[in-house]
Chains A and B, each alone.
Chain A
Amino acid sequence: MAALYNGSSGTFLPVKEGDDAMATVTFDNATRVYPGASKPSVDQLNIEIEDGEFLVLVGPSGCGKSTSLRMLAGLEEVNSGRILIGDRDVTNLSPKDRDVAMVFQNYALYPHMTVADNMGFALKIAGVDKPEIRKRVEEAAKILDLSPFLDRKPKALSGGQRQRVAMGRAIVRSPQVFLMDEPLSNLDAKLRVQTRTQIASLQRRLGVTTVYVTHDQIEAMTMGDRVAVLKDGILQQCDSPRRMYDHPANVFVAGFIGSPAMNLMEAPVTDGGVNLGGHTVPVERDAMKEAGKQVTLGVRPEDLEVAEDGQGLAVTVEVVEELGADAYIYGSTEQKLLAATGENAGEVPFIARVDGRRPPKKGALIHLTPKAGHVHVFNAESGLRIGD
């Protein structure tokens, strides 16, 4: 079924003719150790990506997310384990034999060529015949709202349309998998938000399995069907954004995902729960069996309530950030806080979301208690989640 043909930023790939092939992607214990390195950059990675799924690999710098993507692309060797696309073991195939396309890194547009030629020229290299090229270009143009412009020159297009022509170059190749490595990194903040929405909606319309790498957890959470968080080459959790947010598998994920970050603190275990600022936060007894004497307790800023009766964690308000309906307070507390991870790393204040219509004043002492059922408890030593 595969016809030989080419690619975006340059890759030439055999590409499925119809849409019958199941483009799942499987990392099966995939490991990459750089020569001379003491530990793997990617350590026994196991992820199964479904056909048509948008999976985002996210993590701090050096976590192995780009290396994982490049292993799938064929740019990095796989020292042990396997990588499958559909049922095909591609571990030892060259990049162009994998039917994947690295998208969106570095496209030039050619001023003397029509929009149609700009989108389709690379197919000529692989010997795709003219009617087929035209057909694919027209299909891509329809999806990208570029149909009226196909016979014009790029000069006649707006910036956003030119950008879509560049995307068209990747789409006409109809690879089994799109790979994107921080494609938005050189855009300014406003354009980033616009473009990530465009990419996400385009991906959904095309239904092509996509693996996307970013260091930005907000980008990951807003774009991905599922998000895989990596740290030090090890997969921490792979889940839907919702599940990831509500049930972080460990302290690292808890602190990395979410903005503002989850409050994380050491807390002693008591009868029936966890002691927070002298008050017991109830936690299901069964879950606490293996917790030991001390746990790490996590509460998201929006899961806190101001306790009018002086019960709960005492927090001195240092900064009030008013956002209209809501306000965030940043304060200090005697409770020892754990530095969060990733972009939030460093000395952290205690953060709570409060009612924006009557926020406390700067300098005020307030008491906060977690909403029932909205605390996250982690083993103090392993960092693993306790309970559901």
Chain B
Amino acid sequence: MTLEITTARPDPALLDLPWSTPLEDWPENVLAALPRGISRHVVRFVRWRSLVLAVKEIKADIADREYEMLRSLRRLEVPSVEPFGVVRGRSAGEDGPLDAALITQHLQFSLPYRALFSQALRPDTAVRLMDALALLLVRLHIEGFWWGDVSLSNTLFRRDAGAFAAYLVDAETGELHERLTDGQRAHDLDIAQVNIAGELMDLQAGGHLEGVDPLEVAASIIERYHLLWDELTATERFEAGDRWRVDERIRRLNDLGFDVDELSISTDLGGTELQIQPKVVDAGHHSRRLLQLTGLDVEENQARRLLNDLDSYVATTDQQAADEEIVAHEWLVKVYQPVTRAVPRGMASRLEPAEVFHEVLEHRWYLSERAGRDIPIEAALSDYLRTVLPAKPEEQDVVGVDTIEMPVIARPDSRAD
């Protein structure tokens, strides 16, 4: 059999990876780290050129399917890892053929949940992770994607101005439908609850979880999901005179980070009652606006934070009447970039620039409160760089913490049964 590589980023150097070796035996010198999560398949992280790639060994048809599925999700602009390619036709010579490999690109500055729980945590971290995962699940379901294996292990988290943004990592069991039935959504939620409970109980058994009730946290995903789903999809009825409620609904959705691309408005026969229902909603309300104004591509809450700072810049410099884009550019050059560019090169892989900016703003608030007066951002920045950032761990290429692999299927026993 001949080696066959499908990738959107063709580069012959990909052939240099040891494809004729079973993935679990890959030499340490090509691995980015030794960590592996709980996985049904063998997964390894590989440093390749300037990237970190995740390589998963699975059957060719499943690899192809997941690769296409991830590409579809990217096209739908759902937060998910970037598929990099599929390698087929692997052979270990006399030892016979090897399974195919699905390659995805590691999401920079993302954190697996196990890494998050192994750090000293704010007490509400678990709750914030559930918020992020519920939002991701709602977005997937709106696009008609049934995940089939919702779990913390199959999700990566990026810091997002004190909250987290969740990304789908594993689409192996997923299916794209025109529209999901209530039963499909309920099933995904049930799967999520059991998996999350199991994952948190496992952390607890390993001594990595304190002060958190796994069952309570796992149950909260359902409640959070429903709150969000209802706000995004529910029909609202009111008196025809209360037209302000249309704007009010749109504003609430914007606050949640959604743009309303299509809203259906209908009246009853007598025309005394109005009925509205969002038909097409699009996540990324704040991040899209920030991107338009400044060219910065950041997470939703970071964008919200930056836009707030931009607003106060407009107010304090008394430029309310000026062209928005011009002022935004001025803010970018005078406020944002001086902060993010002040981070020494050696500390640049600790946090993303937008997260650094958010933390500096937090730090200024904290210093100001302690001092009882306004501390200028320059002073807050130098204090932050001296006292806070150096204590932070590197987070650019965290690919997990060391746990054991638990393939449940697809491998003949290596020991007597």
Known contacts A125-B193, A186-B62; decide if A73 and B198 are in contact (CB<8 Å).
Answer: no
Determine which of B151, B199, B215, B409 lies in contact with A186 in the assembled complex, contact meaning CB atoms within 8 Å: B409
A166 touches B408 (CB 8 A): yes
Determine which of A35, A95, A112, A166 lies in contact with B187 in the assembled complex, contact meaning CB atoms within 8 Å: A95
Known contacts A110-B202, A122-B197; decide if A159 and B414 are in contact (CB<8 Å).
Answer: yes
Q: Which residue of B lies closest to A77 (CB)?
A: B181
In the bound complex, what is the Cα–Cα distance between A195 and B62 (angstroms)?
Answer: 19
Whether B192 is near chain A, meaning CB under 8 Å from some CB there, is yes
Which residues of B are found within 8 Å of A7, using beta-carbon distances? 190, 194
B183 touches A159 (CB 8 A): no
- Kindly specify which of A8-16, A55-63, A205-213 makes contact with the partner chain: A8-16
Determine which of A12, A76, A108, A155 lies in contact with B153 in the assembled complex, contact meaning CB atoms within 8 Å: A108
8 Å CB interface, A195-236 against B: 195
Which residues of A are found within 8 Å of B186, using beta-carbon distances? 74, 94-96
Which residues of B are found within 8 Å of A125, using beta-carbon distances? 193-194, 197, 215, 218-219
Whether B74 is near chain A, meaning CB under 8 Å from some CB there, is no
Whether B343 is near chain A, meaning CB under 8 Å from some CB there, is no
Q: Which 9 A-B pairs have the closest CB atoms?
A: A10-B191, A110-B202, A112-B206, A112-B205, A109-B406, A10-B190, A74-B183, A10-B194, A106-B149
* Closest chain B CB from A144 CB (angstroms): 12
User: DSSP majority for the A interface?
Assistant: loop
B148 touches A76 (CB 8 A): no
- With most chain A CB atoms within 10 A of its CB, the pick from B59, B148, B150, B417 is B417
8 Å CB interface, B376-417 against A: 403-404, 406-417
Interface 1/0 per residue, A101-114 and B, CB below 8 Å: 01001111111110
* Closest chain A CB from B92 CB (angstroms): 14
Known contacts A108-B40, A117-B201; decide if A187 and B179 are in contact (CB<8 Å).
Answer: no
* Closest chain A CB from B313 CB (angstroms): 47
Whether B184 is near chain A, meaning CB under 8 Å from some CB there, is yes
Interface size on A, residues (CB 8 A): 50
Determine which of A12, A94, A110 lies in contact with B193 in the assembled complex, contact meaning CB atoms within 8 Å: A12
B194 touches A122 (CB 8 A): yes
Whether B38 is near chain A, meaning CB under 8 Å from some CB there, is yes
User: DSSP majority for the B interface?
Assistant: loop
Which residues of B are found within 8 Å of A160, using beta-carbon distances? 413, 417
In the bound complex, what is the Cα–Cα distance between A294 and B205 (angstroms)?
Answer: 72
Which residues of B are found within 8 Å of A77, using beta-carbon distances? 181, 183
Whether B178 is near chain A, meaning CB under 8 Å from some CB there, is yes
In the bound complex, what is the Cα–Cα distance between A7 and B412 (angstroms)?
Answer: 27
Known contacts A73-B183, A77-B181, A160-B413; decide if A108 and B38 are in contact (CB<8 Å).
Answer: yes
Which residues of B are found within 8 Å of A36, using beta-carbon distances? 178
In the bound complex, what is the Cα–Cα distance between A161 and B406 (angstroms)?
Answer: 12
B40 touches A106 (CB 8 A): yes
A108 touches B415 (CB 8 A): no
* Closest chain B CB from A69 CB (angstroms): 12
8 Å CB interface, A33-85 against B: 34-36, 70, 73-77
Whether A382 is near chain B, meaning CB under 8 Å from some CB there, is no
B178 touches A35 (CB 8 A): yes
Whether A121 is near chain B, meaning CB under 8 Å from some CB there, is yes
Which residues of B are found within 8 Å of A161, using beta-carbon distances? 417
Whether A188 is near chain B, meaning CB under 8 Å from some CB there, is yes
A35 touches B201 (CB 8 A): no
In the bound complex, what is the Cα–Cα distance between A163 and B59 (angstroms)?
Answer: 18
* Closest chain B CB from A98 CB (angstroms): 9
